[in-house]
Amino acid sequence: MVRTSEHRDLFSGALELMILQTLKRKPMHGYALAQYIKAVSDDLLQIEEGSLYPALQRMLKAGFLKSEMGLSPRNRPVRIFKLTVAGCKHLEEQRSSFEKMFAGITRVLAVSQS
Amino acid sequence: MRWLKQLFTRRRRYDELSESIREHLEEKIADLMDDGMTQAEAERSARRKFGNVTLIEERSREVWQWSTLESIWSDLGYAARKLRKSRGFTITCLLTLALGIGANTAVFSTVNTILFHPLPYRDPGRLVLISESLPLQGSNDVGVSAQEYLDYRSQNDVFSETAAFETADFNLTGTGEPRRINAARISASALPLLGVTPELGRNFSPEEDRYGSDHVVLLSHTLWQSQYGSAPDIVGKSIHLDETAYTVIGVMPASFRFPLDAAPSSERASLWLPMAFAPNLLNPDNRTMEFGVGLVGRLKPDVSPQQVQTDMSQIANRFMRQYGYSGTIRVAPHVYPFSAHSVERARPLLILLAASVFCVLLIASANIANLLLARASARTQEMALRMAIGANRLRLIRQCLVESSLLGLLGSIAGILVAILLVAGLKHFGPTSLPRLQDVAIHPIVLLFAVALSLITSLFFGFAPAWRLSHVPPHASLRAARQANSDRSGQRLQNSAATAQIALAFVLLIAGGLLLRSFTRLLESPFGFDPQNAFVVRTVFDHVRYPDPLKRDVVQKQLLDRLSRLPGISAVAEASHLPLTDTRQIGFRLEHAARDDFHSAENSLVSPGYFHAMGNTLVAGRDFTLEDRRDSPAVAIISQALSSEYFAGRNPIGQRFQWGDRATFTIVGVAADVHVSSLDTDPPPMIYLDMFQIESGVSGKTAFILRGQSAGPELLSAIRGQVWSVDSELPLYEEATLQSLISESLAQRSFTLVLLSAFAVTALLLASVGIFGVISYLIAQRSSEFGVRMALGASRSQITNLVLSRGTRIAVAGCLCGLALSTFASRLLLSSLYRTDWYDPLMPCLVTLLLFVVVLLASWLPARRAAATDPMHALRNE
């Protein structure tokens, strides 16, 4: 599959942020996570499902997440990803910096439109 | 220590990752099947949505790795396996690289050491040597005379300091066996000018640099060690040179080799004395009596060599006017960089070797390029497949790079080993006349250059195909790979590389052939003496021990008589100078010529019977006899060259000439010509004088020549016994057979010949491997085409011809390029050729023939394989 630039419109850190936010609400396994992000974002963000996994591994390595065995809605044994304390803290930091950035961008856009 | 823990838990992490992905897919498939898809449809759809599982797993695993390092490591392992599998390819590549790198490193290190080695002096680049030639007498670089030195010294505006030097030799006695040693006289200004201080003691004072108060010496480090056991209290001790006491005032450092910096150790000065010009040399009447003084100057800042030349010429013109130089006595000063004068003679040889070994490197590179191109094209399919299953472009390029660098690296290691071996061999077998040969060491920059060149070649040609393919979208890569099999540009590249190889091999073969021809011409030309069964050994009857020439004559004749009684000796004679070992010129004036019409000729003082003992023939007149005494009329024997130059069409016997104010000589004989300075220079005009009749500066310095069945090195102890029974203080040195004098004189030439032939043969081998590679590759590519042709009725010989024609085309193009190149290249050879024309038409014909045979052979082997193709098999593969 060739990924054209159209599909690559997530800026760095965005995917992580969304994963962390989602998992903070409720620990999930990979498939559920993918489905959830897709459903919530109303298919606006086209994410290749597989691309979650490198991001998940990165955060496991950084200690923001941990995984443990659990059951899927279909009652199959699956690996559930959970936020750690460090993950919570990281999420807060990231959120505030993202919000500042969005605020900045929104203002600039507003000014240049008027 | 987290990284360590990670390293051990990694396997588990990978397993979990695979599990997670599998779970993900299973859940998804189950969902999709709930939506009504069949199992197969659901699986396909799930995988499409998920993306490339292998790739994603790989990327996720990379999170836990030091990614680049580890993947390079795995690439390396893969590359090593690949190279091991294709053994023929690997061995050919490694041998080529080893030869290319090794030979180049060895030769360029040698060139660097000999030509560009910085002298151990302060700012050596600012030192120049002034030497004059006498153009009207045909003498070059005779140095300057003592008085001229003083004029240049006082009148120049370009030097901050000047110094004079002169070589000398002495009998060193009082330390066991008498020894003949080389020495140099240097002015007191020399050491400050060079920026060198003695490691022990002090420099000469200006007072000691005057005639009469000059009995002081500086010892070389080597002499101090070998003769005086490095005694720390040597300063102030007295040593005996030519029976005269000299006081040691210091010891020079081991690195000090002035003035013959590049000479082999046997010719270097063992001690230094003050210059202290003798009063008779400073007499205005004797201004041009003796040259031979070397003048070194240190350039003032901002002075260019051109300015020095102008200044020197002006000074020379001034003193020539002032002192009335006339006739054939006209001097022309020349300026040389001091570092260059001692290596001047080796320069053409070294440049020739460097150029030819560089050709070998180019051929080796072309060979590597060819091999890698052929291999890469063969692997396009593999690359395409890997790309289709998700390898990215960078990854493929990296794989190619790693593989090529591994090859380059192994080749470089092999090359370094070869270089070390070659340098050792060079030191062992190289001619001793090659200056500084023993100092040669592998030069890191040179090594780096050769290694870099081969790495660049292997990298460039190794990764070119991957690069080309990596620009193709993966779904098209398999098709592209099939197209690449008949890729024109790759073939063109290979063809030109092969053509270049042939062209370079052509040039080297021509060069080798010309040198070989010139060498045989040299051996066929008459030497002027018979080198078989003749042995020579030198001694010196110094003036202090033998102040009376008549008494010396008696001892010498007595010795000749004793030596002639040795068993197996048929003839014995003496000479002050021997052909191919040392030379001496004298200036003479023909009787009735103008007062200032001087000419120069080679000279040797010989005893009666010299011509018989040397195996030379007298073509006219008589030999010297015992009747030619100091009180009888002076006689001379001249060479044919002198006879034909000055007495063409006349009988030279009875003609007379003058040598300085010594005497008027009557010519009594004409001897056959002899090569004096080297075998490849024409025999010069020569004057032989009777050593028992004439006294000169070289009287007493003599070589005994013994001819007979038993004349050889075994005879030395018997000779010693005879000589030392007459005078035990006579040093015996430089013993040699005449045959060895010839081989020594040819050493540099035969060395060049052997090396260049080795290069030419290597080039030929490499080129034939190159051709073989190109043709084999061509056949592999076109096997299905050949199958079709044969199925349509082409005969085997037609197929063979088809293949051979490709080889022939390369050979024709290569030989044409080579011919053009060699017309330029053979000019480099000019100075090394003896009576051989560089455009000798026979040589290109022979070389072309040889190359065609080799090319046809190299293409015939694979062609036979092509013709044996089973058409059915080839077609089935389509």
Map out the domains of chain B as residue ranges: 2-65, 145-330, 346-524+745-877, 542-729
Residues of B in contact with A54 (CB under 8 A): 56, 59-60, 62-63
Q: Where are the alpha helices (DSSP H) in chain A?
A: 14-25, 30-40, 52-62, 85-113
The number of beta carbons lying within 10 Å of the beta carbon of residue B599 is 22
Per DSSP bridges, beta strands B599-606 and A65-71 are unpaired
Q: Per-residue pLDDT for B745 more than 70?
A: yes
pTM score, whole prediction: 0.69
Distance CA(B665)–CA(B696), nearest Å, equals 14
Altogether, the residues listed in chain B come to a count of 878
Instruction: Give A105→chain B minimum CA distance, Å.
Output: 32
Instruction: Give B461→chain A minimum CA distance, Å.
Output: 28
List all residues 6 or more positions away from B549 whose beta carbon is below 8 Å from its beta carbon.
B630, B695, B699
Q: Per-residue pLDDT for B636 more than 80?
A: yes
Q: Which domains does chain A have, with CATH numbers?
A: 12-113 (1.10.10.10)
Q: Residue B296 is which amino acid? A: V
Instruction: Give B399→chain A minimum CA distance, Å.
Output: 21
Residues of A in contact with B19 (CB under 8 A): 79
Cross-chain CB nearest to B16 (options A32, A61, A67): A67
Q: Which residues of B touch A (CB under 8 A)?
A: 6, 13, 16-17, 19-21, 23-24, 26-28, 30, 49-53, 55-57, 59-64, 473-474
- What is the token pair recorded at B246? 């000299």
Give Dmax (Cα) for chain B. 137
Whether B61 sits inside 8 A of A49 (CB atoms) is: no
Q: In this structure, is the dihedral angle defined by the CA atoms of residues B64, B65, B68 and B74, taken in order, positive or negative?
A: negative
Per DSSP bridges, beta strands B127-134 and B332-337 are antiparallel
Tokens 């191109």 identify what position?
B373
Residues of B in contact with A53 (CB under 8 A): 17, 20-21, 56-57, 59-60
Whether B60 sits inside 8 A of A57 (CB atoms) is: yes
B524 alpha carbon, distance to own chain's centre:
25
Q: Which residues of A touch B (CB under 8 A)?
A: 1-2, 29-32, 34, 48-51, 53-54, 56-58, 60-61, 67, 72, 74, 76, 78-79
Whether B21 sits inside 8 A of A54 (CB atoms) is: no
> According to the model, what pLDDT value does residue B874 have?
64
Contact B662, B605 (CB under 8 A): no
Angle at CA of residue B300, ends B298 and B301, nearest 5°: 125
- For the ranges B303-307, B374-378, B453-457, B546-550, the lowest mean pLDDT is seen at B374-378
Distance CA(B65)–CA(B77), nearest Å, equals 17
CA-nearest residue of chain B to A30?
B24
Whether B20 sits inside 8 A of A1 (CB atoms) is: no
Q: Which of A57, A59, A69 to mutate to test the interface with B (most CBs of B within 10 A)?
A: A57
User: B168 has which bridge partners?
Assistant: B183
Residues of B in contact with A51 (CB under 8 A): 51, 56
Give burial (CB, 10 Å; 0-12/13-18/19+) of B649. Answer: exposed
Whether A79 sits inside 8 A of B27 (CB atoms) is: no
Give Dmax (Cα) for chain A. 55
Q: Which of B573, B544, B570, B545 is nearest to B559 (CA)?
A: B573
- What is the token pair recorded at B280? 């008779």
The number of beta carbons lying within 10 Å of the beta carbon of residue B694 is 19
Per DSSP bridges, beta strands B571-575 and B179-186 are unpaired
> According to the model, what pLDDT value does residue A8 have?
43
Q: Which of B169, B170, B210 is nearest to B187 (CA)?
A: B210
Give me chain A's average pLDDT, please.
79
Q: Which of B3, B13, B15, B27 to mutate to test the interface with A (most CBs of A within 10 A)?
A: B27
Contact B589, B660 (CB under 8 A): no
Per DSSP bridges, beta strands B244-251 and B216-219 are parallel
Instruction: Give B376→chain A minimum CA distance, Å.
Output: 25
Q: Per-residue pLDDT for B1 more than 60?
A: no
> According to the model, what pLDDT value does residue B481 have?
53
Q: In this structure, is the dihedral angle defined by the CA atoms of residues B456, B459, B460 and B462, taken in order, positive or negative?
A: positive
Residues of B in contact with A47 (CB under 8 A): none
Mean pLDDT of A65-76: 83
- What is the token pair recorded at B285? 């009447």
List all residues 6 or more positions away from B185 whose beta carbon is below 8 Å from its beta carbon.
B164, B165, B166, B167, B168, B272, B273, B274, B275, B276
Per-residue pLDDT tens for B141-178? Answer: 889 999 999 999 999 999 999 999 999 888 888 777 78
- Percentage, residues of chain A above pLDDT 70: 82
Contact B680, B834 (CB under 8 A): yes
Instruction: Give A45→chain B minimum CA distance, Å.
Output: 14
Q: Which of B752, B665, B708, B702 is nearest to B568 (CA)?
A: B708
Whether A76 sits inside 8 A of B57 (CB atoms) is: no
Contact A20, A83 (CB under 8 A): yes
- For the ranges A65-69, B346-350, B708-712, the lowest mean pLDDT is seen at B346-350
User: B476 has which bridge partners?
Assistant: none
Contact B346, B752 (CB under 8 A): no
What φ, ψ does residue A27 adopt, rounded to 5°? -60, 140
Q: Residue B495 is which amino acid? A: N
Residues of A in contact with B61 (CB under 8 A): 57
- What is the token pair recorded at B214? 């000059």
Per-residue pLDDT tens for B318-334? Answer: 999 998 888 778 899 99
Q: In this structure, is the dihedral angle defined by the CA atoms of residues B827, B829, B832 and B835, taken in order, positive or negative?
A: negative
Q: Which H or E run includes A78?
A: strand A77-83
Tokens 């004036």 identify what position?
B589
Cross-chain CB nearest to A53 (options B20, B30, B64): B20
Distance CA(B623)–CA(B635), nearest Å, equals 10
CA-nearest residue of chain B to A67?
B16
Cross-chain CB nearest to A29 (options B23, B50, B55): B23
List all residues 6 or more positions away from B377 whose beta carbon is below 8 Å from its beta carbon.
B465, B484, B485, B487, B490, B777, B781
pLDDT higher for B27 or B638? Answer: B638
> According to the model, what pLDDT value does residue B472 have?
59
Distance CA(B360)–CA(B847), nearest Å, equals 17
Whether A50 sits inside 8 A of B23 (CB atoms) is: no
Instruction: Give A68→chain B minimum CA distance, Å.
Output: 10
- What is the token pair recorded at B601? 């000729």
The number of beta carbons lying within 10 Å of the beta carbon of residue B260 is 18
Whether A29 sits inside 8 A of B17 (CB atoms) is: no
Asked if residue B259 has a cis previous peptide bond (ω within 30° of 0), the answer is yes
Residues of A in contact with B6 (CB under 8 A): 61
Per-residue pLDDT tens for B383-421? Answer: 777 777 767 777 777 777 888 888 888 888 898 899 899
- In the DSSP assignment, the letter for residue B293 is B
Residues of A in contact with B52 (CB under 8 A): 1, 50
Residues of A in contact with B16 (CB under 8 A): 67, 79
Q: Which of B181, B161, B168 is nearest to B121 (CA)?
A: B161
Residues of A in contact with B20 (CB under 8 A): 29-30, 53, 56, 67, 78-79
Residues of B in contact with A79 (CB under 8 A): 16, 19-20, 23
Tokens 């990803």 identify what position?
A81
Residues of B in contact with A48 (CB under 8 A): 49-51
Contact A15, A51 (CB under 8 A): yes
CA-CA distances (angstroms) from residue B847 to B358, B504, B511, B826?
Answer: 20, 12, 10, 14
Whether B20 sits inside 8 A of A79 (CB atoms) is: yes
Distance CA(B137)–CA(B330), nearest Å, equals 9
Distance CA(B517)–CA(B835), nearest Å, equals 9
pLDDT higher for B6 or B155? Answer: B155
- For the ranges A5-19, B64-78, B186-200, B842-856, the lowest mean pLDDT is seen at A5-19
User: B666 has which bridge partners?
Assistant: B635, B656
Distance CA(B498)–CA(B508), nearest Å, equals 15
Mean pLDDT of B505-524: 86
B39 alpha carbon, distance to own chain's centre:
78
Q: Per-residue pLDDT for A2 more than 50?
A: no
Mean pLDDT of B291-300: 92
Q: How confident is the model at residue A45 (pLDDT cuts 50, 70, 90)?
A: low
Distance CA(A23)–CA(A88), nearest Å, equals 10
> According to the model, what pLDDT value does residue A5 have?
35
Q: Residue B785 is which amino acid? A: E
Residues of A in contact with B64 (CB under 8 A): 57, 61
Angle at CA of residue B140, ends B138 and B143, nearest 5°: 135
Q: In this structure, is the dihedral angle defined by the CA atoms of residues B615, B616, B620 and B626, taken in order, positive or negative?
A: negative
Secondary structure (H, E, C), B742-776:
HHHHHHHHHHHHHHHHHHHHHHHHHHHHHHHHHHH
What φ, ψ does residue B783 adopt, rounded to 5°? -60, -35
Residues of A in contact with B62 (CB under 8 A): 54
- For the ranges B71-80, B502-511, B750-759, B774-783, the lowest mean pLDDT is seen at B774-783
CA-CA distances (angstroms) from residue B626 to B73, B609, B691, B699, B753?
Answer: 89, 10, 11, 17, 46
Altogether, the residues listed in chain A come to a count of 114
Residues of B in contact with A78 (CB under 8 A): 20, 23, 27
Instruction: Give B807→chain A minimum CA distance, Å.
Output: 44
- For the ranges A20-24, B171-175, B698-702, the lowest mean pLDDT is seen at B171-175
Q: Per-residue pLDDT for A4 more than 50?
A: no
Contact B149, B361 (CB under 8 A): no
CA-nearest residue of chain B to A34?
B24
CA-nearest residue of chain B to A78?
B23
Give me chain B's average pLDDT, please.
85
Instruction: Give B88→chain A minimum CA distance, Å.
Output: 39
Tokens 């790989």 identify what position?
B58
Cross-chain CB nearest to A53 (options B21, B64, B473): B21
Instruction: Give B859→chain A minimum CA distance, Å.
Output: 45
List all residues 6 or more positions away from A79 whose beta carbon is below 8 Å from its beta carbon.
A29, A30, A67, A68, A69, A70, B16, B19, B20, B23
How far separated are the first and last CA of chain A, in Å rounded?
A: 41
Mean pLDDT of B574-592: 89
User: B134 has which bridge partners?
Assistant: B139
- Percentage, residues of chain B above pLDDT 90: 30
Instruction: Give B479→chain A minimum CA distance, Å.
Output: 17
Coil, strand or helix at B607: coil
Whether A48 sits inside 8 A of B60 (CB atoms) is: no
User: Taking each helix axis from N to C terminus, what angle separates B347-378 and B796-829, rounded to the nearest 10 degrees?
Assistant: 150
- For the ranges B126-130, B151-155, B262-266, the lowest mean pLDDT is seen at B262-266
